Amino acid sequence: MTSERAQVGGRAGEQHATPRSRRLHTAFNLAIGIAMLALALWVLRRWAAHVSLEDLWTELSQIPAQNILLALVFTFASFVALFGYEYYACQFIGRPISWFRAGIISFITQSITHAVGFAIVVGATVRYKLYSAIGFNLFEVAKVQLFFVVTFGLGCLVLGGGTLLIEPYVLARATGISELWWRLAGSALLALVAGVLVWGAWFHRPIRVGGQVFVLPSAKITLLQILLGVADLACVAAALHMLLPASLGLDYFETLGVFVAGITLGLASHVPGSLGVFESTVLVLVNPAPDETAAVIGALIMFRACYYMLPLALGAAMLGIIEARRLIALRSPRIRAPS
């Protein structure tokens, strides 16, 4: 979904977004985040009460090296899918860039966003900094950001709906809600995605919202977004699955359901990097036996290292190199042509 042009008129509605209302909205989001973080810390403290640092170190050292390697491979594969988000977003808005440039921008943006949190604000800020350097204006970057968010959302809806239909057992056990209701919820999510596809196929025309004209993606582009979103999230869930102890007896689809629930709650909390919220959700849904708790926590620590911390270190280093080169270029004396 992209905004094709802004209308100068019809902005009166935006004036109602007063500083006071914005402050209230920010305060509300902050309160939700603090509450969810506090709840997550309480859950983690409850589960880790009898787990010592020595236990964690033992469990970390016992994760097979090949499993860690596979987790890194799946992490890399998820970032490749994110490259696709970026590349096709630029294609869709009519500002195509190379795969290499799309990969650099996507990796830097998402590696920082994943770890820092506040995905929409941080992602848009980093993305604008990188795109403005190659001539993109603010509205074009906003279109790319919106395409990115919609693609991720479609992937979540498809995977969430699919896993609820195929394997609702973990959520049913953790919540006490019947598997039938979870399957109905999964069907509703998939029906929503089907509705988006039908709209793109039969009602593909611009719509006006709040003084903006929006062109919805066609069904073909929406299918591409779904494919990229599903590939991204499925690979991250596979990385987690590689690190969780086999003694839990979880199959991949159960891990996928746990992952989608954890990442959704983590994003909703606005806690930086979903830290604590994701881990506590996984612990509650997996519900490990007391003698397996240390192994699960160790797997979650390793997952955060593979998916969050290592990409963050690489992305920050790449951004630093780009900024250093830019500053050097600005400070270098310009060679004047002979008169």
Say what angle helices 65-92 and 138-166 make with each other, to 10 degrees: 130
Q: Which of 22, 214, 117 is nearest to 126 (CA)?
A: 117
Give residue-wise pLDDT tens across range 41-58.
555 555 555 666 776 788
Residue 255 lies in a domain: yes
Q: What are phi and psi of 15, to 5 degrees?
A: -65, -25
Residue 112 domain-assigned (yes or no): yes
Task: Evaluate if residue 139 carries a pLDDT over 90.
Answer: no
Residue 65 maps to a domain: yes
**Residue 221 domain flag:** yes
Query: Does 272 score more than 50 pLDDT?
Result: yes
Cα separation, 260 vs 21, in Å, equals 32
Instruction: Report yes or no on 139 lying in a domain.
Output: yes
Question: What residue numbers bound the domain in which 205 lies?
Answer: 51-306
The residues pairing with 214 across neighbouring beta strands, listed in sequence order, are: 3, 207
Per-residue pLDDT tens digits for 187-238: 999 999 888 888 777 766 666 656 656 666 777 888 888 899 899 999 999 9
Specify if 24 maps to a domain.
Answer: no
Question: Tokens 């612990």 label which residue?
Answer: 283
When divided into structural domains, the chain yields a total of: 1
Residue 4 falls inside a structural domain: no
Q: Is residue 21 part of a domain?
A: no
pLDDT of residue 337: 44
pLDDT greater at residue 289 or residue 34: 289
